[in-house]
Copies of this chain bind each other. A is one copy, B any other.
Amino acid sequence: MNTELTRKLNIEHPIIQAPMAGGPTTPDLVASVSNAGGLGSLGAGYLSAEQIRNAIREIKQRTDRPFGVNLFVPEQPSTPEDTIIKMNDYLNKYRMEVGIAQSTSIPKFVESFEEQVQAVLEGNVSVFSFTFGIPSHDVIQSMKQQGMFVVGTATTVDEAIALEAAGVDAVVAQGSEAGGHRGTFLPSTADALIGTMALVPQVVDHVSVPVIASGGIMDGRGLVASLALGASAVQMGTAFLASIESGAHAVHKQKILSSNEDSTEVTNFYSGKAARGILTDFMKDMHFYEGTIPAYPIQNALTRDIRQAASKVGNPEYMSLWAGQGLRLSQDQSASEIVKQTLDQAYLLIESMGNLRE
């Protein structure tokens, strides 16, 4: 399928597998999507430089087609020390719940962005994408000088305009349906949970770079709809999250395959940053917390041992079950089959649209 973005990226189909950080985007998943003619993406936000180098090497062993790597733009949280200590203490009740030791020390927040960037530059991948903000001019320029295609993430028109001004080659318009973390980085009047149907055309009208639609896009219907709205490609996350190649926890996959469209909420309880996931006991219980939630990445670091312990025993109620609102359309299929089905359905749909004329 032929769009401005497939031509620029030299890929067959305008289907980007979303760079879901935290495990799902195994080298197998990334390579499978790219080999199927889409663009696989490594969600590297939580990976060390060493882990990024290894993952890129493994992906390149599996495919010689273009793929992308995504990083989180670092933030300087200004949460006061006592807020952090209070939260860490409060979280001990959940540590007890999942059977791990109480904690009083504050863990390391985040990987070094500079080292991550260096690993991506050395990896010489086709696409560098980022979320949670805009990297420095130097970072964007060095990626572009390396010949990489640079993609930023927007949740409002103003964010898309800011990204274009910073020199990105394309913008992901992330609608409210999307699973996982919200890419929001500019203050907004309201909460910036703009639905994909409304967000995409408004972004398209205000930037000249190609727009990639994301949020609730699960199949050929979502692909054709997004192209109609003016997007040059789609980014699909939840659609690949339960795929065979996905590294998501088996319990996470099972929850995705068995949950309904109204079972997710946007929460900042896991990481300090808004993210959409299936409602859990942890999310319900944290509503009673009377303090302030430390900002990302502090809260993310504080809850890490709890999430890891819950994963180990397969207890979904204390894991972060990121998922978008298209849940009912997720499939336990190979990633290449998901790409193929999406394309086939899209072509049939475009064919049938001719019948709309009287």
Contacts and interface: CB of A to CB of B under 8 A. Distances in A.
Contacts of A358: 1-2
A26 interface: no
A190 B227 contact: no
A358 B1 CA distance: 6
Contact of A197 (B175, B189, B260, B356): B175
Contacts of A222: 197, 201, 229
A100 interface: no
A325 B194 CA distance: 7
Contacts of A265: 190-191
B194 A217 contact: no
Contacts of A230: 221
B356 A353 contact: no
Given A195-B325, A197-B197, A229 B225 contact: yes
A1 B349 CA distance: 16
Given A228-B225, A228-B353, A328 B176 contact: no
Q: How many copies does the complex hold?
A: 2
A260 B356 contact: no
B192 A262 contact: yes
A1 to B, nearest CB: 5
A85 interface: no
A178 to B, nearest CB: 9
Interface in A1-49: 1-3
Contacts of A175: 195, 197
B192 A195 contact: no
Contacts of A205: 328-329
A79 interface: no
Nearest to A188: B262
B228 A215 contact: no
B190 A279 contact: yes
Interface string A176-203: 1100000000001111111111110110
A325 B198 contact: yes
B156 A261 contact: yes
A153 interface: no
A180 to B, nearest CB: 14
Contacts of A156: 260-262
Contacts of A145: none
Interface in A257-303: 260-265, 279
B202 A329 contact: yes
Interface in A218-241: 218-219, 221-222, 224-230
Contacts of A228: 221, 224-225, 228, 349, 353
Nearest to A358: B2
Given A198-B261, A356-B2, A221 B229 contact: yes
Contacts of A201: 218-219, 221-222, 326, 329
A357 B217 CA distance: 20
B190 A215 contact: no
B263 A199 contact: no
Nearest to A6: B358
A197 B225 contact: yes
A169 to B, nearest CB: 21
A350 interface: yes
Shortest beta-carbon contacts, A-B, top 3: A198-B216, A195-B195, A177-B195
